[in-house]
Structure 1
């Protein structure tokens, strides 16, 4: 199949770098791709990557509130593009696209990273009805697919396509091959990264790279969605047992509410003045911190497509994750550990185990296993092929015009 006109419509708070490889794959197959972003599509990594590859990027209202005037403007934008398929993400955009394209002869393909919206009883009841407006729901984990299955969505309408990672970008500088634990080049790169960020070379370094989302009353009883509080509680116990350790958190708050929650966490856990904890704001390039790290932690109560775990794995860093949503799918027993969500005691115990492997020089081998798994499962080029296949299959199911 060739000659489809496809609109990729997204509202990435940050990131969105899954779009360029997909657009490239669709164009390689002979399709015309337009990317629609909220106005104005400000210059940045995503827009630069798209315009540098000569993909048209246009601004359109992607309403976070379903106001009729904004939905009408969005409908006119999509109609003006004359597309056959709309591929959209995240959930707030899905609601708008479904309503804005009601009655239009377009195929709707919804990308779902995580099932956080299904943790709210009200949203779950709504989605039980509205998923039927999607001709395909591409689920980025088996967990998400299973959740939609419980809403009545048949298996052929909820295919799984793991989110990808740019393995060329997230790649250890010492990795000409996939086996390199204990190499002098690795030790040199690690020492250089430690020097650049000001962490002692001999310290056990734990990283959490994640934005701080504001708590929601409708889910997790208003507690921290990404589990920063769980890690900070576990850290006080763990560091008391292993003082030769340091926790590095990278990530600011999402919006004013997220930043206010971050400030509350900093105060509650006395982060300021604690020499064992460093908390940095969001940064455009997190690779230096993965190069320096010994283990990555993702202690979320609710998770999406495990982007930080995939990036850490690609950088040969093993992970400790909670059992939230699809996080356990990002690793196996050879390259990391899974602990119950919200359980600070279990997390501290897992850190103890990782520390023992750090002391015995076995942790780097686990990191190599993580890299091999990432290469096998999370290459963004392979992910783009899988999604492009689904889009073509969905478009060919019935005539689009």
Structure 2
């Protein structure tokens, strides 16, 4: 759909005849979820009134929204299933009734459960934006979603994989369009960090300037009992197991892991992994805590690795936008982030296959063709994952849903 402004001029993003909407955006975190910023900005740009409901307190997302002048309200429900859940849901319902939104847009499955229940019977349109499909790997969750997706007016799937999973649950095509969580392709650009950033970061971290550097950028999430037999979903264990073998073959290679534990349980799991694979005493592995700006880490790298057991396109899109090719697992939406010429796809949970892909990337690096893959990765992201184009697609869907008769 081509965007037009109130005068019919193409490109401004405000369709002719669209009334001003009250849109409530709800997400269960005030720290992560920075990917929703382009979406709320696009809705505001089109003249809609946008209010974001987040957990109370300061957080990276809350701070950035307020800095941009967007209204942020504290959620009275903490998105947990304890004894206080019924009261919290009633309070959330009361808040949404006072706000009187035309549309509630929500991200992450815990937010979806909360909004679905809190808005039962209210005259509001529900737009569920599926950020990551990992929850659909759980048989229990799938059995619940087979019924509860029907409470959503539309599920905007962040990848084709998520849309296919909801198809299996009986959701018709018109209720599960795909609109990605994009990346700022101007900010995440090979030219954005400066020509010396590669050498500078390597020097700061003590990584040889001539090393073949693989990077994995991801928080460490604790294993979940209901999915993947209690293994960490991001696949850190798969990469660390593969790296042992790979580095014995290529001692001039180095692995940079960027990301601390998500929650105390995630940090505990990170420490377990570090000890299990001997990271503190391994000169070929550097593991740093989460950083405010990951772009220098990509700029320093030769290849990005995303070995998740299930995920959205995520880090591979950021890497590609930075001109860095990726090795991804054939899990979730990750394969959608690469092409045959811009990266490699390996079976999930397979260290041997990951070693082979690392070897292929290394041979490209030695032969001088890895940079071509990086340029092709950048081209793919520009075509398919630009955040402004993606945000416009989401806004189009929100406006379309709001225009439907109740």
Under a length normalisation based on structure 1, what TM-score does the superposition of the two structures give?
A: 0.93
Task: Tell me the alpha carbon deviations over residues 284-303 of structure 1, each in whole angstroms, 9 at most, x when there is no partner.
Answer: 11111111000000001111
Match of 2:51 in 1: 34
Secondary structure of 2:283 counterpart: coil
Change (3 A) 1:13 1:313: farther
- 8 Å Cα contact 1:339-1:350 kept in structure 2: yes
What is the alpha-carbon distance in structure 1 between the residues aligned to residue 229 and residue 59 of structure 2?
A: 38
Q: Does 1:58 align with 2:66?
A: no
- 8 Å Cα contact 1:63-1:96 kept in structure 2: no
Q: Does 1:116 align with 2:134?
A: yes
Match of 1:280 among 288, 311, 330: 288
Match of 1:358 in 2: 365
Match of 1:173 in 2: 191
Match of 1:182 in 2: none
Task: Tell me the alpha carbon deviations over residues 160-214 of structure 1, each in whole angstroms, 9 at most, x when there is no partner.
Answer: 0011111222112279xxxxxxxxx85x443233223321110000101011111
- 8 Å Cα contact 2:22-2:101 kept in structure 1: yes
- 8 Å Cα contact 1:11-1:62 kept in structure 2: no
What is the alpha-carbon distance in structure 2 between the residues aligned to residue 295 and residue 20 of structure 1?
A: 27
Q: Does 1 or 2 have the higher relative contact order (CA < 8 Å, sep 6+)?
A: 1
Gaps of at least 5 residues in structure 2 are 1-17
Q: Does 1:255 align with 2:263?
A: yes
CA positional deviation for 1:397: 1.3
Match of 2:398 among 391, 394, 399: 391
Match of 2:382 among 375, 380, 386: 375
Q: Does 1:91 align with 2:98?
A: no
Secondary structure of 1:272 counterpart: helix
Secondary structure of 2:308 counterpart: coil
Bigger mean CA offset, 20-29 vs 9-18: 9-18
Q: Does 1:338 align with 2:345?
A: yes
- 8 Å Cα contact 2:30-2:62 kept in structure 1: no
Gaps of at least 5 residues in structure 1 are 176-184
Task: Tell me the alpha carbon deviations over residues 112-158 of structure 1, each in whole angstroms, 9 at most, x when there is no partner.
Answer: 12221121111111110100000000000010001000000000000
Match of 1:128 in 2: 146
Secondary structure of 2:344 counterpart: strand
What is the alpha-carbon distance in structure 2 between the residues aligned to residue 137 and residue 295 of structure 1?
A: 33
- 8 Å Cα contact 1:12-1:90 kept in structure 2: no
Q: Does 1:329 align with 2:344?
A: no
Secondary structure of 2:281 counterpart: coil
Q: Does 1:20 align with 2:42?
A: no
Match of 2:12 in 1: none
What is the alpha-carbon distance in structure 1 between the residues aligned to residue 91 and residue 59 of structure 2?
A: 23
Under a length normalisation based on structure 2, what TM-score does the superposition of the two structures give?
A: 0.92
Secondary structure of 2:96 counterpart: helix
Task: Tell me the alpha carbon deviations over residues 270-324 of structure 1, each in whole angstroms, 9 at most, x when there is no partner.
Answer: 1111100111111111111111000000001111x22211111111110000001
What is the alpha-carbon distance in structure 1 between the residues aligned to residue 361 and residue 229 of structure 2?
A: 30
What is the alpha-carbon distance in structure 2 between the residues aligned to residue 25 and residue 317 of structure 1?
A: 28
Q: Does 1:231 align with 2:246?
A: no
Task: Tell me the alpha carbon deviations over residues 20-63 of structure 1, each in whole angstroms, 9 at most, x when there is no partner.
Answer: 221221122221111111112x153x334322332111111243
What is the alpha-carbon distance in structure 2 between the residues aligned to residue 282 and residue 53 of structure 1?
A: 24
Match of 2:325 in 1: 318
Match of 1:190 in 2: 198
What is the alpha-carbon distance in structure 1 between the residues aligned to residue 281 and residue 360 of structure 2?
A: 27
- 8 Å Cα contact 2:30-2:54 kept in structure 1: no
